[in-house]
Structure 1
């Protein structure tokens, strides 16, 4: 048997095949429920394994809909969502399955291993959060809510994508692009009737390029206004989503959606999250105000607005640190960065990456098999360059999960790493900003968390079963190494001369890392606090804007313009699973900063703690609470002071 699933997708037959799989699953569930003496082996293992088959079938569609978005993929995806939601609601609310889990827990819990106990505990919690214990009327209403929510979140995401793609700003005056880096200009430049023109869009690389370097303030404002007023129709979707989330939380016995959200997370209570966020705001404000005054001094007499901060920030960064992003880009050629990252992961964890020559969804996509020592362990697919038909941002999407099936055969893991780096062409390579390098390391951290699992039970292997507010720990942990001098020297080579990035330039990069870090921290805390307070009671219409304004009064050092309706594009919480969970980024960052400094203090390569991190945190996936794994690895509780140290906040 070939160890990896083929990446295959037939849009024409997808819905009928999906229906067939779900029919088979219904029959399997009926057969399992008919078993007289249910045990972990004869009931839970086959039940858990059905999830793997469904994931393997559905993941190629969700992946293609994100990286090769077309009308056909949108149509099939939109058609598949309600089918899947109906099925997951049926399973999640099935009282017979819920009772079977509880009976097996009562009979066998003491004789099971840690992984198996975790499967039982998480599933029972999952059933309760899905409403398995409710009466029929409440269940039916919850099913309706779930269907509607899945449609709304998909619509929200599609509206943002459509609005992003619909806008372009054509610039004909050379003075309006003076100072923009040549690599960004090359991506923007096109010829029309013999005249050179420049097209800037709301796609991230293009938008950031103009906001950071674009000299024309009016054009910056025009782009900023277009970006922050995208998808106004999402306002109505937010109102409906918020009402549905509150109603579903109450049906399940919670006071609000934030409480419901925390039931499956590390954070112990809503009070603890609010206290955590507010303490970080207080710790960051004084330094943030100092950073703003420095920015105002550079902007000399201009009434500084939100659309000015990146532009003047870049000027200040150059003045303070003599740092010029463009000076670095020739040293961060995409393939060189990848090879260097592979070398680093070999040094740190003993991994080998071997390129596979297989046909994928795009000619720029790549596949690598990963060997841990001599053993074939996993496969990773990379799709790193921006395209018109690709969703913005960067993410890891798990495909296969490491586990043992009911026959005791080991299944290997695989995952996708997706980014939106500057496109390469025949005449120019893809030269990354250092931020892009950090992004690649971040997503690779997620990927290794999934791929290096040694857990046998599918439902708690890799990223499965990991608490949401611990999910970002491995990604943030790895991204910190993109600033380590000995790691940078593995790949920061000039793409033409082969010269390695100098110690002086590396030192500058590290000094500049925490440039405006308090302002950035406050921005992240603004998103987190808005999200958490939004879900702590029902907000509708103007109340949502009023709440955002009140949060901004504490966190936004530059007051955004009235027209900024950031919430209408806040996909993380309205279509990306982070509702009442955006705080997780900071919660996990406390873990990652603590572990990172402990390994750096051991000298990075050859670190005993790095080996423990691989064997405890990565290998055990979601089979134990991250709280337990962290304490086992470090030999102590987490210390939050390292988060402020990491961000240079005193």
Structure 2
């Protein structure tokens, strides 16, 4: 069988199955450690396979909790997290494995390939970052810290999901919803059984929240939903304090001054100063135009006699400015971006530039809306992808790519094919209405598929540096952001932007408006990203002991860089899942860091005069997508572009400099 089926029928028993898997893994490692003459082939390769086999089992358990969240998935995850955390900590502190890897590195260095050297270099560094060199007492403390941190991270996300699901805002008056697009209105509409009246319900799930904050006519209602959104999960205040304290203790045990320093030890950026000055340079270059963009919004708000514009007015009046400037009515576009049509066209574009084909297959999934495709290259199956694109109540908000299997060739010379899941929260399709996307959704799809292709097109045979494994965190967004730019290209949009009823292709003028509007408020948006990134990075440069200190840090960054200060009740940090519930702590700057690479790579296509430049695309596929983490991204980028990346391409694409 080429691919493992997705099957969680036995989910409730995951804990005992995992215990069994962990014991098998430990036995296998013990067996490997007994080998007298260890070599790369007889030790390192089988050692990587142990890791792959475990990850193959555990990934669906984490995945199902975020796409089909229930009491059962939460319970199973709570049972499994301690097991996996303790196992990983024990493994990563196993001095015998560490010494064996170092011996092989010293002894066989000359005969190893560059990819094998990279695997060893990464693994040895990871062992050192896991405290392998520490004494027993410190190792045990580290084990406790890692376990507690993984539990807290899960708790943070669960609090956020619960808070998101527990709020609803009912609008009884049509006046309050009269500007909403038809499709959003349909989703919000319900008949109240008590008085048989038509009413409109809004929640904090992204599609619903965005609909009201962008088009809701009633300012008080806008503030109500905004306030609910940015004061979600107040209990996360305690979770954050605890996370920061434990992270600080952890990295000091490992010999680092602070968490940011620890975080950079496995990234492309070289120093704390380099990251901070990079972010400040962007802020300085964008500050003036951000002020001008804000003035434009204020002018529109003043027509409604609003002289003190607030954060909850921004999306509403931005939309009005956008419409006036570009006549860009998102609702006008949605019939042209019917989900199936977008997918088919997108696949045909990917086939054009990267010579890969997608074929739908019928196989087991976690929801009947999930679509599964096998990917072919030169008529040969090379990968499988699961697409779960529509919003559901039991699904975490946002969009992400999750890698399940990795491409590699095992010790028995058998090739293993990669698989991945792409998850989004697009408008739901119903029996009588297809899922009609906003252009922003199309951009999200391109973005997540960029991650997926980086993982699925790998030609690397060592699992630990294949696909997105081993890729430095601050460059992992490069392929996703690169592909995103094509979602604004006229010739690409023409492939799939067809009205789902009339089949008419979106006209040039309408497409041009989307392209022009891409840079709408790009400076405001860049400064917002810089604010998040600086807050995250500074927060991890020393220990902030309590909520007041954390708030003061955020306030000081806003005072310096934010053109509009949010209301004092805004507790953005309680919902900052990227850094407290995900892996972006002291790494949120990566989005901008990687964007420099992606903008520069895309600029090469623009400069070549042909966005379908096959030769350039295949070069990108060869040097970036197929190489995974087998070499550092700065080297791979140099091979692709034949030069160093430049910040100016990003500022040009964003229209911040000309």
User: By how many angstroms is 1:646 displaced?
Assistant: 1.4
Aligned to 1:131: 131
Deviates more, 1:463-472 or 1:106-115: 106-115
Counterparts of residues 199-218 of structure 1 (less than 5 Å):
199-218=201-220
Q: Displacement of 1:281 after TM fit?
A: 0.5
Query: Aligned residue for 1:608?
Result: 615
- Aligned mate of 1:432, from 398, 416, 437: 437
**Structure 2 residue matching 1:358: 3-state secondary structure:** coil
For 2:339 and 2:409, the matched residues in 1 are separated by: 36
- What number of residue pairs does the alignment pair up? 649
Q: Between 311-320 and 186-195, report the one with greater CA deviation.
A: 186-195
1:466 aligns with 2:468: no
Counterpart position of 2:597? 591
1:3-42 matches, cutoff 5 A: 3-9=2-8, 10-42=10-42
Residue 143 of structure 1: aligned partner = 143
CA contact (8 A) 2:260 2:272 kept: yes
1:418-453 deviation line (CA, Å, top 9, x unaligned): 000000001111110000000000000000000000
Partner of 2:350: 345
Find out whether 1:71 has 2:71 as its counterpart.
Answer: yes
Residues 1:413 and 2:413 are matched in the alignment: no
SS in 2 for 1:368: strand
Residue 171 (structure 2) aligns with: 171
Q: Measure the CA separation in 2 of the matches of 1:198 and 1:114.
A: 60
1:364-417 alpha-carbon deviations (Å, 9 max, x no partner):
000000001211110010000000000000000001110001100111111001
Task: State the match for 1:451 in structure 2.
Answer: 456
Structure 1 unpaired stretches of 5+: none
Q: Report if the CA contact (8 A) 1:348-1:604 is conserved.
A: no
CA–CA distance in structure 1, aligned partners of residues 51 and 200 of structure 2 = 48
Question: Greater CA deviation, 11-20 or 288-297?
Answer: 11-20
- Residue 87 of structure 2 is matched in structure 1 by 87
Q: CA RMSD in A?
A: 0.7
Q: How big is the shift at 1:555?
A: 2.2
Deviation at 1:639? 1.2
TM-score (norm 1): 0.99
> Which residue of the other structure, out of 281, 284, 292, is the alignment partner of 1:282?
284
- What residue ranges of structure 2 are gaps of 5+ in the alignment? none
1:557 Cα offset (Å): 1.1
1:568 is matched with which residue?
574
Deviation at 1:305, TM superposition (A): 0.1
Question: In structure 2, which of residues 637, 643, 647 is the aligned counterpart of residue 636 of structure 1?
Answer: 643
Local SS of the residue matching 2:373: strand
Post-superposition shift, 1:607? Answer: 3.2
Q: Which moved more, 1:59-68 or 1:483-492?
A: 59-68
1:349-428 matches, within 5 Å, as: 349-428=354-433
For residue 115 of structure 1, what is the aligned residue in structure 2? 115
Report the equivalent of 1:619.
626
For 1:355 and 1:585, locate their aligned partners in 2 and report how far apart those are by CA, in whole Å.
Answer: 32
Q: For 1:290-329, what aligned pairs fall within 5 Å after superposition?
A: 290-300=292-302, 301-302=305-306, 303-329=308-334
Q: Deviating runs (4+, > 6 A) in structure 1?
A: none
TM-score by length of 2: 0.98
- Match of 2:495, SS state, is coil
| Residues 529-540 of structure 1 aligned to structure 2 (within 5 Å) | 529-540=534-545
Q: Structure 1 CA distance, aligned partners of 2:200 and 2:380?
A: 50
For 2:198, what is the secondary structure of its paired residue? Answer: strand
| Rounded Cα–Cα distance in structure 1 between residues aligned with 2:163 and 2:110 | 55
What is the alpha-carbon distance in structure 2 between the residues aligned to residue 607 and residue 514 of structure 1? 27
Show the counterpart of 1:219.
Answer: 221
Q: Alpha-carbon deviations, 1:100-124, whole Å to 9, x = none?
A: 1100000011111121111100000
Find the aligned partners of 2:70 and 2:529 in 1 and give their Cα distance.
32
* SS in structure 1 at match of 2:372: strand
Query: Deviation at 1:313?
Result: 0.4
Matches within 5 A, 1:260-275: 260-275=262-277
In 2: Cα distance, 1:540 partner to 1:52 partner? 38
CA distance in 1 between counterparts of 2:378 and 2:516 reads 36
2 CA distance for matches of 1:294 and 1:141? 55
> Counterparts of 1:544 and 1:67 in 2: how far apart (Å)?
32
> How far did residue 606 of structure 1 move?
3.4
Give the Cα separation in 2 of the matches to 1:606 and 1:633: 14
Contact 1:356–1:369 at 8 Å: present in 2 too?
yes
Shift of residue 474 of structure 1? Answer: 0.3
Q: Distance in 1 between matches of 2:529 and 2:100?
A: 43
**What is the CA distance between 1:540 and its match in structure 2?**
1.9
- Once the two structures are TM-superposed, the CA of residue 136 in structure 1 deviates from its matched residue by 1.0
SS class of match (2:583): coil
What corresponds to 1:514 in structure 2? Answer: 519
Alignment check: 8 A CA contact 2:407 2:466 kept? yes
Partner Cα separation in structure 2 for residue 601 and residue 495 of structure 1: 34
Separation of aligned partners in 2, 1:162 and 1:408: 47
Deviation at 1:198, TM superposition (A): 0.7
